[in-house]
Amino acid sequence: MCHLHKSLYWLKQTSRQWFAKFSKAICFVGFKQSQADHSIFTKQRDKSFTTLLIYVDDILITGNDPIGVAMTKKFLHGHFHLKDLGPVKYFLGIEFSASKNRIFITQ
């Protein structure tokens, strides 16, 4: 989970312009924006995939390829000032916990 450090909340169009800039940057490196939910971006290459979910100024990055996730974080950090909060614990009121073989999601 990542959290953006700087946002321009006081301008009316800022969030739309920021999201357009973000979308353009992330699509440039091969992510595809979901047509069903524009806040979801996916990148698939052979058997590996990386998924990115953005909500306001929070970004959740996951996938089955740790190298792909790390490269996505590195790219985002190079283009946007962000802070890596480590493995997800809470996101949008949902609690996440993992065991060796399972991921538990509770609300």
pLDDT tens readout for residues 69-83: 999 999 988 888 888
Q: How far apart are CA 18 and CA 5, in angstroms?
A: 13
Q: How far apart are CA 30 and CA 88, in angstroms?
A: 24
Q: Confirm if 30 and 43 have CB atoms less than 8 A apart.
A: yes
pTM above 0.95, yes or no: no
Helices H, strands E: what count in the chain? 2, 9
| pLDDT higher than threshold 70 for residue 1 | no
| pLDDT higher than threshold 90 for residue 4 | no
| pLDDT higher than threshold 70 for residue 61 | yes
Amino acid at 59: I
What are the extents of the domains in the chain? 2-81
Query: pLDDT value at position 3?
Result: 59
Query: pLDDT value at position 33?
Result: 93
| pLDDT higher than threshold 60 for residue 31 | yes
